[in-house]
Structure 1
Amino acid sequence: MARYHIETYGCTSNRGESREIERRLRDAGHRKVDGAGAADVAILNTCTVVEKTERNMLRRAEELADETADLYVTGCMALAQGGEFGDVDAEVLHWDEVPEAITNGECPTPTPDAEPVLDGVIGILPIARGCMSNCSYCITKHATGRVDSPPVAENVEKARALVHAGATEIRITGQDTGVYGWDTGERKLPELLERICTEIEGDFRVRVGMANPGGVHGIREELAEVFAAHEQLYNFLHAPVQSGSDDVLEHMRRQHRVEQYVEIVETFDEYLDEWTLATDFIVGYPTEEDADHEMSMALLRETRPEKINVTRFSKRPGTDAAELKGLGGTLKKERSKAMSELKREVVGEAYESMVGTERDVLVTEHGTGDSVKCYDSAYRQVIVQNADEHGLEPGDFATVEVTGHQTMYAFGEPI
């Protein structure tokens, strides 16, 4: 797992975000070290109060980029003035994208007991542990083993308990939610979602966590039909493709090919008028040629995902990919920078298209200052400022008009 160094500047909100980044990294098995020179990755959580602060942030980013292999810049300046870091060898991300970007494309790792957790109005529901994949770069498989799926009825009752405890958003998680039930010989994710939506009373929304394309492809029509039938489900699918090259996918031992991923996208386009595709790309895998990288860029342009995690490949001990001769760090950074620039273009266009529209949203948590974070039916983030003035608290449903946007989120005004 990766060794990380993190520096935080600014207000208590930034410090809270950094604590959450660290919690997720620790949960995934990563280790904190003192000093960027001893780290595989460095994280700079920035402030942007006055011009002097901005100059200090840029200078510190340049210093950290020289000291460590990979640098991720987040925080207020990164989101408000991300272009200022264009000459710095760094990835500019929203804070909650940082942990996933550092995980090298590996599956998330729930705790061994995999019990539900209520965090404010957000209920975390791990539906299974383990996966059915054997990716060449992933160390998580060594810790979790093959998928172990509790019965559907058991997970429905856990979801019901979360709603009764006050959850208005249920986040279904697992190493790979798409293969839920495979160990029993059945593909049970559509059934689980159908029963949660039809058997549990209350106003709530459900977000389905990461599902590899290899598991989703065989249930894509059934799954898309369930999404279309139930407003409780966010129209959101996280299907990490990792590469636009079939050759690289084969080397990675991924269980899908590009055509299957595209067929999933086409199916959801057919069933849903508006939805959000989230995906991941690993750039700089040891066997990735220039042509392979261009295929990934082309796939990003073609499928237009609205949430994209771009990760530079790094070796994990004990994995087969760690035995391969790696690409140079400069080449990986160049490819990562090119894809990250395209990512910001694609995501920015999606949020720009929302401006002037009305959205029904769920308030999920407090944001910076007197603001709240909300999500629309396609799980696009909308920030409402002056929340106290509008009487909005986590758990509330509201209708907003989208008045503006940043690259990774929109701004809304309650109607």
Structure 2
Amino acid sequence: MEDIEDLLVVGGAAPAGFRLPITAAVGINQMKKKNNKLEPSSLLQNSSTHQVPGTQTIFLKTFGCSHNQSDSEYMAGQLSAFGYSISDNAEGADLWLINTCTVKSPSQSAMDTLISKCKSAKKPLVVAGCVPQGSRDLKELEGVSVVGVQQIDRVVEVVEETLKGHEVRLLTRKTLPSLDLPKVRKNKFVEILPINVGCLGACTYCKTKHARGHLGSYTVDSLVGRVKSVVDDGVKEIWLSSEDTGAYGRDIGVNLPILLNAIVAALPSNGSTMLRIGMTNPPYILEHLKEIAEILRHPCVYSFLHVPVQSGSDAILTAMNREYTVGEFRKVVDTLTELVPGMQIATDIICGFPGETDEDFAQTVELIKDYKFSQVHISQFYPRPGTPAARMKKVASNIVKKRSRELTSVFESFTPYNGMEGNIERIWITDIATDEIHLVGHTKGYVQVLVIGPESLLGSSVTVKITSVGRWSVFGDVIEILEESRVVTNPSDKKYTSNKENCSPCFNQQDTCACSEEKNPEPCACGSNVCCIDTNDSYTEAGNDQNPQNIPSLLSRRKSSMATVKTEENGKQKVGMRNVGDRDWGVVDTVLVGGIFMSLLTIVSLVLYVGF
């Protein structure tokens, strides 16, 4: 059927949590004509029309980026608010909801396979995300209900009508969904916050622009309000997400530094909640590099940025219409690395773009070797239907695969975390590793740290001693759980040396932080007289991250002057280390010592009395 425009008046969107009658909001197609006979849509013959709306189970599957993940969390939140159960079990669900990605062919192929399985199982199906939005006439979407990327606040209506046996298409609207919709986070400690949709670019290979459209930014006030709300909910990491974070606000008269400063001002000053800035293309941060660097130095902001370069050849960047040169990309990386201690930058590479020569590829390899990025996302070129690059002369597939393997081999030869052994780092723990043994935390530079400890450590900030390093992450032992009342100091006030990336900021005037190589003391961020010390405490080698079972216990063996301290807070055990000699005296200690003194005095008095 034809795409149905919203028919609502005055702004178009229903208030959050309010459902309009579906017939007044979207178009529906209940019957299909086949062989001159009207028959119910084949997908929907098994629909649960006899069940009360809001009592069914929904299988939700998400493909693609963090923005898609956030959309899925919003859809799950609304469905849950109306009584639906969200499940990972496809077979036992009453309806399937698939949130799709159109960036790469493999993602869309996986979506096609899932749709075929759903049709075979005769389950009601709703397809959301970038594929139906950017490719509305796909054969795979025939007879399927679809909901667009800007229509996620109407998912309850679409699901209810689909369960009744109707085919619904809801794709077009010019306003952004509210940020205050109900939300069920995949990780309750992580809020994925979309700051804008669409972009200002016109990359020749990109299909996402067809789906997400031109740049549309949320206001600074609405985003700051959302940040305050999720912090109150107990969120410990906020990921800013968009198709191009750097372009934020250019459509509403503001810019990214204005937004970031406003958000940082709303975060707790103790560093209990961290901000991660999302992917940004080089053109839109070149004019704000110093302001961005200042924000990345803030103790509540991860010193990490994802800046895609895509190719090390200016000729290929021109063919991609990326609107920057390799030299400008280098300026972004060099400036941030110089101004932000411990800065970590991730990038993306597309191998085998149409017209890429051996010389072009060699320039890409040289760029990656020069910077030895700790994270590089390497993709083979996939022609996306409807894009200019799909019409360009392709590089032979065997050459594309060869170049991808070669670049992967170069990247995997790097050892980016060597030298971190023995460091004392503050990390923020927000997840459980896939091996279900380790907890996952990140340093200020967003280096992944795996530790062993109770699940009560989730959502906490701790100091760890790095015991060993792997290719993709490092391993550490928990030393102390940091109290949320402790205020952190901005490390930008510190004078850094050439070994600055190996230092961690201290957390109060008595703490020290350890560097792996620097021997000469220097002022710490907290103002302590000593920053870099030799750490000779023994620790157990943990092996590498390919064999994560060989991990030391929660706390490594400490010197005899150290004692384990366990306390209870809100029913959760806290483990820390402290010097026995530095123990604070409390009321109980004073009473006990006084009692002992009085007992000794009484005994002496009795002996003297008997003697006389």
Pick aligned residue for 1:352 from 418, 427, 431: 418
Pick aligned residue for 1:373 from 440, 453, 473: 440
Alignment CA distance shift 1:132-1:159 (3 Å):
same
SS state of the match for residue 184, structure 1? coil
Question: 2:470, 2:397 → 1: CA distance?
Answer: 30
Question: 2:372, 2:406 → 1: CA distance?
Answer: 16
In the alignment, structure 1 segments of 5+ residues that lack a partner are: 1-18, 39-108
Question: 1:190, 1:410 → 2: CA distance?
Answer: 32
Q: Which residue of 2 aligns with 1:219?
A: 288
Q: Which residue of 1 aligns with 2:344?
A: 276
Q: Check whether the contact 2:468–2:476 (CA below 8 A) recurs between aligned residues.
A: yes
Q: Check whether the contact 1:139–1:319 (CA below 8 A) recurs between aligned residues.
A: yes
Pick aligned residue for 1:362 from 385, 409, 428: 428
Question: 1:308, 1:326 → 2: CA distance?
Answer: 23
Bigger radius of gyration, 1 or 2? 2
Q: Which residue of 2 aligns with 1:151?
A: 219
For residue 374 of structure 2, what is the amino acid of its counterpart? E
Q: Which residue of 1 aligns with 2:462?
A: 398
After TM superposition, give the deviation of residue 369 of structure 1 in Å: 2.1
After TM superposition, give the deviation of residue 195 of structure 1 in Å: 1.5
SS state of the match for residue 241, structure 1? coil
- TM-score normalised by L of structure 2: 0.50
Task: Point out the structure with the larger helix share.
Answer: 1
SS state of the match for residue 240, structure 2? strand
Question: 1:129, 1:315 → 2: CA distance?
Answer: 23
1:45-64 deviation digits (Å, cap 9, x = unpaired): xxxxxxxxxxxxxxxxxxxx
Q: Check whether the contact 1:114–1:128 (CA below 8 A) recurs between aligned residues.
A: no
Question: 1:243, 1:185 → 2: CA distance?
Answer: 31
Question: 1:26, 1:325 → 2: CA distance?
Answer: 32
SS state of the match for residue 384, structure 2? coil
Q: Check whether the contact 1:372–1:392 (CA below 8 A) recurs between aligned residues.
A: no
Q: Check whether the contact 2:200–2:214 (CA below 8 A) recurs between aligned residues.
A: yes
Pick aligned residue for 1:407 from 456, 461, 471: 471
Pick aligned residue for 2:199 from 118, 131, 149: 131
SS state of the match for residue 429, structure 2? strand
Alignment CA distance shift 1:207-1:268 (3 Å):
same
After TM superposition, give the deviation of residue 114 of structure 1 in Å: 7.0
Which structure 2 residues correspond to residues 38-187 of structure 1 after superposition, within 5 A? 113=177, 115=179, 117=183, 118=185, 119-186=187-254
Q: Which residue of 1 aligns with 2:142?
A: none
Question: 1:199, 1:209 → 2: CA distance?
Answer: 18
In the alignment, structure 2 segments of 5+ residues that lack a partner are: 1-60, 70-97, 117-148, 153-175, 480-612
Question: 2:191, 2:421 → 1: CA distance?
Answer: 30
Question: 1:289, 1:113 → 2: CA distance?
Answer: 44
SS state of the match for residue 348, structure 2? strand
SS state of the match for residue 346, structure 2? strand
Matched, 1:310 2:378: yes
Structure with more contact order per residue of length (Cα contacts < 8 Å, sep ≥ 6) = 1
Question: 1:226, 1:326 → 2: CA distance?
Answer: 42
SS state of the match for residue 138, structure 1? coil
Question: 2:350, 2:284 → 1: CA distance?
Answer: 19
Question: 1:332, 1:413 → 2: CA distance?
Answer: 42
Q: Is 276-285 or 294-303 further displaced after alignment?
A: 294-303
1:29-86 deviation digits (Å, cap 9, x = unpaired): 4432688xx9xxxxxxxxxxxxxxxxxxxxxxxxxxxxxxxxxxxxxxxxxxxxxxxx
Question: 2:405, 2:393 → 1: CA distance?
Answer: 22
1:91-147 deviation digits (Å, cap 9, x = unpaired): xxxxxxxxxxxxxxxxxx896737475431001100011101000000010111111
Q: Which residue of 2 aligns with 1:336?
A: 404
Pick aligned residue for 1:28 from 101, 120, 135: 101
Question: 1:298, 1:128 → 2: CA distance?
Answer: 34
Q: Check whether the contact 2:351–2:404 (CA below 8 A) recurs between aligned residues.
A: yes
Alignment CA distance shift 1:358-1:149 (3 Å):
same
Q: Check whether the contact 2:302–2:446 (CA below 8 A) recurs between aligned residues.
A: yes
Question: 2:462, 2:264 → 1: CA distance?
Answer: 20
After TM superposition, give the deviation of residue 21 of structure 1 in Å: 6.2
Alignment CA distance shift 1:284-1:325 (3 Å):
same
Question: 1:338, 1:200 → 2: CA distance?
Answer: 43
Q: Check whether the contact 1:248–1:288 (CA below 8 A) recurs between aligned residues.
A: yes
Q: Check whether the contact 1:359–1:376 (CA below 8 A) recurs between aligned residues.
A: yes
Question: 1:323, 1:34 → 2: CA distance?
Answer: 23
Q: Check whether the contact 1:235–1:379 (CA below 8 A) recurs between aligned residues.
A: yes
Q: Check whether the contact 2:465–2:478 (CA below 8 A) recurs between aligned residues.
A: yes
After TM superposition, give the deviation of residue 245 of structure 1 in Å: 0.4
Question: 1:246, 1:405 → 2: CA distance?
Answer: 36
For residue 304 of structure 1, what is the amino acid of its counterpart? K
Matched, 1:384 2:451: yes
Alignment CA distance shift 1:322-1:237 (3 Å):
same
SS state of the match for residue 268, structure 2? coil
Matched, 1:297 2:370: no
